[in-house]
């Protein structure tokens, strides 16, 4: 009998080789012997072909057959169709949700398929559960009835003066029992808001609880400008931050302004600029250097000629094309005398004319430097 089985296997393999060689568009998925002892080839497209009589008594199946398992919804619509080998399990799709009902099980076992199957879902009346939301002190915020397997909807957690809502202590996204859900709070953080002037000098600091509103310690003033608020919001504070004073240039005023910065080694870098509506053709001026200053250097900007003469810096600026507002004309660097916290500058303008030409009236602003 063993020799007979071996001969049959050689015959079937030979037939498979012929089938594979003659099929271009499809492939053979398996070959088996039917009740009439004919070799049957099954192709990848689902069709079969009788390869002829084998002529030897042998076990019928070489590869088990496949069966069709069809999953339907509660209304008979097809959810999924699957081909499964004999004895294997089918894989069920997700059962569709039905209002006020819960999926219980499938009506037919498909763990060891032995024939074609049609499988339908079985639903039961959905259980309803009560979900109660409490605040941190146990007061009821909301009570909700939820169908089995569904999610509850949380209320807005109450605001607290010194604490902030963190989370709910119990999950309620898939309710399967009556639930009590309590709000969890944490202590609010304390943040520091630092207020700076346009030069970078600190005007003051303030402490504020998280989500609170902070009050500015001062209302900044800058000659030739009007205060225009702070660079960041002072309400709903959620982190430490620095805000800088903003200003609007005074309308219709011709201005000479100082901008400056103090380096880590104490060196001051100051820039003299002309702002406002002026379009000047000539500027001649003398800037007094603060007493005790050392390492003084001067650089002319925008074509201005500058030179140091004793305790002053001479500025000469001439232009044919004229220069409009916001033009830097001098960069002055120096180290102030030890212990100085403020420096006052004296600028003498000897001549300043516009393109007409006509004399230009001006205002000097920012002429006091706060070094600390």
pLDDT digits (tens), the chain, 372 positions: 434 444 444 444 444 444 444 445 677 778 878 877 888 888 888 788 888 877 655 444 456 789 999 999 999 999 999 999 999 999 999 999 887 788 889 999 999 999 999 999 999 888 889 999 999 999 999 999 998 888 999 999 998 888 999 999 999 999 989 999 999 999 999 999 999 988 788 899 999 999 999 999 888 887 777 899 999 999 999 999 999 999 887 755 677 888 888 888 889 999 998 877 667 678 888 999 888 899 999 999 988 899 999 889 999 987 655 556 678 889 999 999 888 888 888 888 888 777 666 666 677 776 676 665
Q: What is the DSSP string of 129-149?
A: EEEEEE-TTS-EEEEEEEETT
| Residue 19, phi then psi, degrees to nearest 5 | -65, -45
Collapsing DSSP to helix, strand or coil, 41 comes out as strand
Give which of 77, 84, 69, 82 is closest to 119, Cα–Cα: 69
pTM summary value:
0.47
- Please name the residues in contact with 187: beta carbons below 8 A apart, sequence gap of 6 or more: 162, 163, 164
């Amino acid at each position: 009998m063993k020799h007979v089985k071996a001969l049959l296997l050689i015959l079937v393999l030979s037939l498979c080789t012929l089938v594979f060689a003659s099929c271009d568009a499809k492939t053979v998925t398996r070959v088996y012997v039917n009740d009439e002892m004919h070799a049957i080839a099954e192709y990848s497209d689902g069709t079969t072909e009788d390869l002829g009589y084998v002529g030897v008594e042998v076990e019928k199946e070489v590869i088990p057959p496949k069966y069709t398992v069809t999953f339907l919804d509660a209304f008979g619509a097809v959810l999924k169709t699957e081909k499964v080998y004999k004895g294997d399990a089918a894989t069920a799709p997700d059962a569709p949700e039905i209002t006020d009902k819960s999926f219980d099980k499938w009506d037919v076992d498909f763990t060891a398929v032995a024939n074609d199957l049609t499988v339908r879902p079985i639903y039961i009346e959905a259980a309803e559960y009560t979900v109660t939301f409490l605040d941190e002190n146990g007061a009821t915020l909301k009570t909700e009835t939820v169908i089995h397997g569904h999610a509850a909807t949380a209320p807005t957690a109450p605001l607290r003066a010194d604490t902030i809502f963190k989370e709910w202590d119990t999950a309620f996204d898939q309710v399967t029992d009556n639930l009590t859900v309590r709000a969890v709070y944490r202590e609010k953080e304390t943040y520091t808001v630092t207020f700076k002037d346009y030069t970078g000098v600190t005007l003051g600091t303030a402490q504020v609880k998280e989500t609170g509103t902070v009050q500015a310690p001062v209302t900044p003033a800058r000659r030739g400008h009007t205060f225009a608020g702070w660079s960041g919001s002072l309400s709903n504070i959620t982190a430490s931050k620095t805000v800088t004073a903003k200003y609007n240039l005074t309308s219709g005023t011709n201005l000479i302004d100082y901008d400056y910065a103090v380096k880590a080694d104490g060196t001051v870098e100051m820039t003299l600029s002309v702002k406002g509506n002026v379009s000047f053709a000539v500027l001649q001026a003398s800037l007094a250097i603060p007493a005790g200053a050392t390492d003084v250097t001067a650089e002319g900007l925008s074509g201005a000629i500058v030179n140091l003469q004793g305790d002053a810096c001479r500025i000469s600026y001439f232009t044919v094309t004229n220069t409009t507002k916001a033009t830097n004309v001098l960069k002055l660097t120096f180290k102030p005398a030890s212990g100085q916290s403020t420096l006052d500058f004296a600028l003498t303008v000897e001549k300043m004319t516009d393109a007409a030409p006509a004399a230009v009236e001006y205002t000097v602003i920012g002429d006091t430097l706060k070094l600390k």
